[in-house]
């Protein structure tokens, strides 16, 4: 992937105001910035960095930062000036907080009717849990997704915070923003996006819900094809205490799996569920006889769905990932490359993560404030410059 293209990004010309937060909303802002949007992050003066130390938070890459005290008249006024020229505003507060700060959708769309106002929460804007605290794992739990993960004799494992915060949260917020911008091109009107992680995770589970409705999914962990219940769709420990992932669902891939393991196809019919526990144990015995690298060599010669379970640092150096430039070295940090890949207007890492308030003076000048006005705001702590 080339980051040196002179072609403007697909979202070039759009301005996004991001009310600073953690997790899903910044992830949406990162995606928009990667594709050329001018994302201005509003940070709180004196806020602690999201990650201890001086290392930048990669989710904040490609932004400019203004530090504003939204509770002060001066800081609020600066934000409203930004809203007037913005295409999008995003916030990740609990329901009602933006309204109490005087920056809710009624105020903002009243000033700028074409604004896309993106709201990111865990539970949603209404309902009995709307005002309660939660994290990724809690939203997964209530959606039914967490209860479908892991071994039946152990607690469900947290799948990092990838499924909720980023898959069901920030990525769908970014999609909602782009969809709303497309619609605005027809109507000229803005609208409010209510993006809730609970909704997004439930949407991601559509196929499983479909299987359940059709009587093809058992609501018990490790009893189904995709949850580790099937011996041909799970991970197996190798002799060097590593793991190989097996996803040989289709008959031709299952046959190739048996060939690689040296197991007779007649002995192990694929969908004999009664024998799955016995088959698990046999496959465990076979995989435990060789190292990860040895199994890699075996399955490299076969067209089947088997791959090594790598650590992140190993994955960065894998030939497939290097060939695709799935990681890029940008602004002193190795980091995931923008995705998906657009053929004519590809995304790029537009800049490093800014320090809070790094661009305060620059953006205030763009808003037409004179040096005296800027100094007054700085002296009154309505704004802060890095």
Q: Where do the domains of the chain lie? A: 15-204+329-384, 233-320
Looking at 43, 87, 136, 165, which residue is catalytic? 165
- E-strand stretches of 100-139: 116-121
pLDDT at 47 (0 to 100): 72
State the pairing for strand pair 333-336/327-330.
antiparallel
CATH code of domain 233-320: 3.30.1540.10
Closest residue by Cα to residue 88 from 108, 73, 58: 108
**Contact by Cβ (8 Å): 136, 164:** yes
Are the folds of 15-204+329-384 and 233-320 the same?
no
- Measure the CA–CA gap between 82 and 28, rounded to whole angstroms: 19
**Contact by Cβ (8 Å): 164, 172:** no
> Is 135 among the residues known to form the active site?
yes
pLDDT at 49 (0 to 100): 63
pLDDT at 2 (0 to 100): 45
CATH topology of domain 15-204+329-384: Rossmann fold (3.40.50)
Looking at 57, 135, 280, 318, which residue is catalytic? 135
- Measure the CA–CA gap between 228 and 248, rounded to whole angstroms: 12
Q: What angle do CA 375, 379, 382 make, to 5 degrees?
A: 95
What proportions of the chain, in percent to the nearest 5, are helix, strand and coil?
Answer: 40, 15, 45
- Measure the CA–CA gap between 248 and 253, rounded to whole angstroms: 5
Q: Which pair of structure tokens corresponds to residue 280?
A: 């698990």
- Measure the CA–CA gap between 88 and 224, rounded to whole angstroms: 42
Query: 85 vs 14, 26, 82, 101, 203, CA distance in Å?
Result: 10, 20, 5, 20, 33
pLDDT tens per residue across all 386 residues of the chain: 444 446 899 999 999 999 999 999 999 999 999 999 999 999 999 876 666 666 678 999 999 999 999 999 999 999 999 999 999 999 999 999 999 999 999 999 999 999 999 999 999 999 999 999 999 999 999 999 999 999 999 999 999 999 999 999 999 999 999 999 999 999 999 999 999 999 999 999 999 999 999 999 999 999 999 999 999 999 999 999 999 999 999 999 999 999 999 999 999 999 999 999 999 999 999 999 999 999 999 999 999 999 999 999 999 999 999 999 999 999 999 999 999 999 999 999 999 999 999 999 999 999 999 999 999 999 999 999 98
**Contact by Cβ (8 Å): 25, 33:** no
pLDDT at 133 (0 to 100): 96
């Amino acid at each position: 992937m080339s980051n040196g293209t002179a072609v403007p990004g697909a979202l070039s010309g759009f301005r996004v105001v991001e009310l600073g937060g953690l997790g899903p909303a910044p992830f949406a802002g990162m995606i928009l910035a990667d594709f050329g949007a001018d994302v201005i992050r509003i940070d709180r003066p004196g806020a602690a960095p999201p990650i201890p130390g001086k290392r930048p938070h990669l989710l904040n890459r490609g932004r400019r930062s203004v530090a504003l005290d939204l509770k002060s008249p001066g800081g609020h006024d600066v934000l409203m000036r930004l809203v007037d020229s913005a295409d999008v505003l995003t916030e990740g507060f609990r329901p009602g907080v933006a309204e109490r700060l005087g920056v809710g959708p009624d105020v903002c769309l009243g000033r700028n009717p074409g604004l896309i106002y993106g709201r990111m929460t865990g539970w949603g804007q209404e309902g009995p849990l709307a005002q309660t605290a939660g994290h990724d794992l809690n939203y997964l739990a209530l959606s039914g997704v967490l209860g479908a993960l892991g071994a039946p004799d152990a607690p469900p494992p947290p799948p990092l915070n990838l499924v909720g915060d980023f898959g069901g949260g920030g990525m769908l917020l970014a999609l909602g923003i782009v969809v709303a911008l497309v619609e605005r091109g027809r109507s000229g009107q803005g609208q409010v996006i209510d993006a809730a992680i609970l909704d997004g995770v439930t949407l991601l589970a559509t196929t499983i819900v479909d299987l359940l409705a059709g009587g093809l999914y058992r609501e018990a962990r490790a009893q189904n094809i995709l949850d580790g219940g099937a011996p041909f769709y799970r991970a197996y420990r190798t002799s060097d205490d590593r793991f190989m992932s097996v996803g040989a669902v289709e008959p031709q891939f299952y046959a190739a799996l048996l060939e690689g393991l040296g197991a007779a196809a007649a002995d192990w019919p694929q969908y004999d569920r009664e024998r799955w526990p016995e088959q698990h144990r046999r496959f465990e015995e076979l995989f435990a006889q060789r190292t990860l690298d040895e199994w890699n060599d075996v399955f490299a010669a076969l067209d089947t769905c088997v791959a090594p379970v790598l650590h992140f640092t190993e994955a960065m150096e894998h030939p497939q990932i290097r060939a695709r430039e799935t990681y890029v070295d940008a602004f002193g940090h190795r980091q995931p490359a923008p995705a998906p890949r657009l053929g004519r207007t590809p995304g790029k890492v537009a800049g490093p993560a800014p320090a809070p308030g790094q661009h305060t003076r620059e953006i205030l000048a763009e808003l037409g404030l004179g040096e005296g006005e800027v100094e007054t705001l700085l002296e009154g702590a309505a704004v802060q410059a890095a």
